[in-house]
Amino acid sequence: MSEPVPPDPDRVADALVTPEWLATNLDRVRSDDPSLRLVEVDLNPAFYEAGHVPGAIGFDWREDLQHPRRRDVPSPSQFERLLGEHGIADDSTVVVYGDNANWFAAHLYWLLTYYGHDDVYLLDGGREHWVESDRPLTAEVPSYTERRFTVTGPLEGIRAYADDVSRAIDRRTQLVDVRVPAEFSGTIVVPPGSDERARRGGHIPGAVNVVWSANVRPDGRFADREQLAELYRDHGVTADDDVIVYCRIGERSSLTWFVLSELLGYPSVRNYDGSWIEWGNMIGAPIVADSEDH
């Protein structure tokens, strides 16, 4: 059995571990004992190669956490193989962190939850905060004994599909678009430096725009629960709502899903991981851009 993560007064909620907690548990992280595994998830694998938390496994979000032939989550067998080959077992406590204020790490957290592994935590502040705090880094790539990891999901209650979004437009479901305002308005279709794009810009009718970055402080750590609760109340998003969150490719929205579901305890939150790449490319899908329906 994995040793539970002990209470920490600096936590926002039980779904988070602090850098302070991780720093005192690096010996456990580096051990071949699978009770605690640490995973760094980046869009750019050069970050991991340049230096990572000692003992951390490195996952490339684009190569490891997507289906190899279609734009989808990894298949159950692919996910089982990936985690098992890296020494993650059914009873492992998994702590994840990554670049871009934990966008891609939050997506892995969501995937683990989707596939039934609930002993998972996010490192508050992610990679940037760890590095900027002058905490230890290494270029050494760890090797762990292969373990058996078993998918018990999928738990479809935390995932939304295009049909769910279509129904949500005319129902009492709150859509939350977490992209920057220029994406939401349709002024830009894709952020600078990104290569996946939709044919059309704008947002899904009825969506409110709560930018993902409003969830975090300047140092990359999450705002406190009271601030987060007020943020979403001010945008009319409450725990009584059925909520669907989306972005462009599903990673920023994973962070907002984490905040609403895991930090604030909203009971019904789904991540539309197809997001704008799917919706903005679908023939006939309703779109609002520059205050006009298209």
237-250 pLDDT per residue, tens: 999 999 999 999 99
- Are the beta carbons of 274 and 163 closer than 8 angstroms? no
The kind and range of the H/E element at 37 are: strand 36-42
* C-alpha 23: how far from chain center: 22
The catalytic site residues sit at: 247
Instruction: Please report, as a single letter, which amino acid is at residue 153.
Output: G
* C-alpha 59: how far from chain center: 14
Give first-to-last CA distance, the chain, whole Å. Answer: 54
Q: Give the pLDDT score at 68.
A: 64
Q: Give the pLDDT score at 113.
A: 97
Cα distance between residue 169 and residue 181, in whole Å:
20
User: Is the Cα dihedral 129, 135, 140, 145 positive or negative?
Assistant: negative
Q: Give the pLDDT score at 1.
A: 34
- Are the beta carbons of 39 and 93 closer than 8 angstroms? no
Alpha helices (runs of H) in 34-192, residue ranges in sequence order: 46-50, 61-64, 76-85, 103-114, 126-132, 162-169, 181-185
| Boundaries of every domain in the chain | 16-154, 157-293
* CA-to-CA separations, 105 to 43, 95, 125, 250, in angstroms, rounded: 10, 9, 11, 12
- Are the beta carbons of 246 and 204 closer than 8 angstroms? yes
Q: Give the pLDDT score at 188.
A: 87
Q: Give the pLDDT score at 190.
A: 77
Same fold, 16-154 and 157-293: yes
Beta pairing class for 288-289 and 269-271: unpaired
- Are the beta carbons of 115 and 151 closer than 8 angstroms? yes
Q: Give pTM, 2 decimals.
A: 0.92
160 contacts: CB under 8 Å, gap ≥ 6: 168, 244, 246, 270, 271, 272, 273
Reported as a single tens digit per residue, the pLDDT across 36-80 is 999 999 989 999 999 999 999 999 998 999 876 677 899 999 999
Instruction: Please report, as a single letter, which amino acid is at residue 15.
Output: A
Six-digit token pair at 101?
């204020």
Residue-by-residue pLDDT tens, the chain, 294 positions? 334 344 443 333 579 999 999 999 999 999 999 999 999 999 899 999 999 999 999 999 989 998 766 778 999 999 999 999 999 999 999 999 999 999 999 999 999 999 999 999 999 999 999 999 999 999 999 999 999 999 998 999 999 999 999 999 988 899 999 999 999 999 988 776 666 667 899 999 999 999 999 999 999 999 999 999 999 999 999 999 999 999 999 999 999 999 999 999 999 999 999 999 999 999 999 999 974 544
Q: Give the pLDDT score at 47.
A: 95
- Are the beta carbons of 246 and 176 closer than 8 angstroms? yes
- Are the beta carbons of 107 and 65 closer than 8 angstroms? yes
Cα distance between residue 171 and residue 159, in whole Å:
17
* CA-to-CA separations, 275 to 113, 165, 220, 236, 243, in angstroms, rounded: 19, 10, 24, 21, 14
Instruction: Find, among 229, 219, 48, 16, the residue nearest to 124 by Cα.
Output: 16
Residues pairing with 243 in the sheet: 174, 269
Q: Give the pLDDT score at 252.
A: 95
Which of the listed CATH numbers 3.40.250.10, 3.40.50.1100, 3.55.40.20, 3.30.1360.120 matches domain 157-293?
3.40.250.10
* C-alpha 239: how far from chain center: 20
Cα distance between residue 181 and residue 203, in whole Å:
10
Classify domain 16-154 at the CATH topology level.
Oxidized Rhodanese; domain 1 (3.40.250)
